[in-house]
Amino acid sequence: MRFSQPTAARQINRLRVLNLIAKQDNLARSDVSRLLNLNKVSTSEIVDSLIKENLISEVGTRQTATGRRPTDLELNKDAQMIFAVEITNRNTQVALVNLKGEMLRFERLPTPKDPRPEEIAALIINLANKFTSRMKDPSLIKGSTIVINGEVEEATGLIKNHQGWQWNNVPLAFALSKHLKFPILIENSMKAMILAEKWFGNLEQANTYYFVNWGEEIQGAFLKEGKILFSDSLFGHLPVAKTGICKCKTIGCLESQAAGWSLLEDYPNTTTLKQFGQLGETNRIVDSSLLNASEKMGEALIYIANILRPKKIVIGTSLPERYFNHVLNSFSNKANPMIKETPIERTTLGDQVGILGASALALDQFIFKQSLLEQLQKTASL
């Protein structure tokens, strides 16, 4: 897309206006024109087109001391929707989400054990049909994002491999497109969680982070100034113990000590790490396992702080505060003075970070295109 082309420039400005109104309340046309440095005629034309598309509305006049009362603009948050899916080795979460990222419907169910691709495709199709059958207007769904713990070819949705299942070069997006009436995006779950933090959490664009997903599996990704430098690091396979067989057949990996799949192995009635953490409040054996897991997580983070020197480490986990605090103590007690003060925070999104990530990806890809605007802004500033 070239800035020099009038049509492209108009499309870009339309996205800028839509994103601004989505983020800020109590804006009139004059405010939009001023904040985006657009002339008033162009601003009004774009606003009128967005009103015609039913994406925004004029919601009444604002009181002012003098002069003409401005008419405020508001995002019609339920004008369009997206269908978000998160698939982990243990659970599948699905949600119908509006333009504000609010979940209008949500459902969680067990993922089949060691499923074939056909089983996962059928599961997604059945859930999508279940959700759309209860909608007055299914055409409001503008797209779907499916996030999964595997290496994904972004352009095609081909799953090159999956961590935990014997999947190789699975054309899941192509298979689903034959049965669903909206476009489909498939992405790595770690990338989705990071975008969730940017959309719904408190990640600062200009900072450098290491993000950890501590759930059924343990994953890590490094971000610098908002850009993911790598999301396929094998953080969960750092050696932290002399016992415990990992899925990778190695002894002592962090996952063998702290991942949900390992901790829940002897507790078949407990399906999430969050439930296991709650069980630790009354069960001494579970509590001891979680304290050991937290100890090993703190030790593993020392490697990250020493080698990558992030400004902050963010941990996505649904475990109770007691165990997160034990991670902090483990890190502080064993880290060298040069990294001891590295801030370690937990996500504010809890165990919904994955499904929120899928939601953020779909909203970005099919409606708001914030990532595109950020990329264009960086290019223009060079």
Q: How far apart are CA 120 and CA 128, in angstroms?
A: 12
314 domain residue, yes or no? yes
366 domain residue, yes or no? yes
Residue type, 253: C
Number of domains in the chain: 3
At 68 the pLDDT is: 61
Domain-terminating residue out of 60, 76, 92: 76
149 and 13, same structural domain? no
328 domain residue, yes or no? yes
180 domain residue, yes or no? yes
360 and 341, same structural domain? no
Domain-terminating residue out of 16, 49, 76: 76
136 and 105, same structural domain? yes
At 247 the pLDDT is: 86
54 domain residue, yes or no? yes
At 66 the pLDDT is: 55
pLDDT single digits (tens) 12-51: 999 999 999 999 988 999 999 999 999 999 999 999 999 9
104 and 64, same structural domain? no
pLDDT single digits (tens) 228-273: 776 667 899 999 999 999 988 899 999 999 999 999 988 888 878 8
Q: Which residue(s) pair with 71 in the sheet?
A: 61
Residue 3 has pLDDT above 50, yes or no: no
Residue 169: count of CB within 10 angstroms of its CB = 9
Q: How confident is the model at residue 5 (pLDDT cuts 50, 70, 90)?
A: low
Instruction: Name the strand (E) or helix (H) holding 293.
Output: helix 284-308
254 and 187, same structural domain? no
Question: DSSP readout, 148-206?
Answer: ESEEEETTTTEEEEESSS--EEE-HHHHHHTT-SS-EEEEEHHHHHHHHHHHHS---TT
Q: How far apart are CA 378 and CA 205, in angstroms?
A: 12
Global pTM value: 0.83
Domain-terminating residue out of 76, 91, 112: 76
Backbone angles phi, psi at 56, to 5 degrees: -135, 165
Backbone angles phi, psi at 351, to 5 degrees: -80, 5
Per mean pLDDT, which range of 54-63, 89-98, 198-207 is the poorest?
198-207
- What CATH number has the domain bearing residue 20? 1.10.10.10
At 1 the pLDDT is: 43
Q: How far apart are CA 166 and CA 312, in angstroms?
A: 35
213 and 341, same structural domain? yes
pLDDT single digits (tens) 200-218: 887 776 578 899 989 888 9
Residues written for the chain: 382
Calculate what percentage of the chain has a pLDDT beyond 90: 65
216 domain residue, yes or no? yes
230 and 328, same structural domain? yes
380 domain residue, yes or no? no
Residue 2 has pLDDT above 50, yes or no: no
At 132 the pLDDT is: 94
Q: How far apart are CA 255 and CA 282, in angstroms?
A: 24
Question: Containing domain of residue 132, as a range?
Answer: 81-194+354-370
232 and 133, same structural domain? no
At 52 the pLDDT is: 95
Residue 9: count of CB within 10 angstroms of its CB = 14
Per mean pLDDT, which range of 146-155, 170-179, 180-189 is the poorest?
146-155
223 and 187, same structural domain? no
Residue 64 has pLDDT above 60, yes or no: no
pLDDT single digits (tens) 104-131: 999 999 899 889 999 999 999 999 999 9
307 and 278, same structural domain? yes
Mean pLDDT along residues 273-296: 93
361 domain residue, yes or no? yes
Residue 77 has pLDDT above 90, yes or no: yes
244 and 268, same structural domain? yes
Q: How far apart are CA 72 and CA 78, in angstroms?
A: 18
Residue type, 379: T
Calculate what percentage of the chain has a pLDDT beyond 70: 93
Residue 53 has pLDDT above 50, yes or no: yes
- What CATH number has the domain bearing residue 238? 3.30.420.40
119 and 94, same structural domain? yes
At 309 the pLDDT is: 93
The average confidence (pLDDT) of the chain is 89
Q: Which residues contact 308 (CB under 8 A, 6 or more apart)?
A: 210, 222
Closest listed residue to residue 181, CA positions, set 143, 131, 216: 143
Q: Across the chain, which distance is largest between two alpha carbons, in Å?
A: 75
pLDDT single digits (tens) 321-353: 999 999 999 999 999 999 999 999 998 887 788
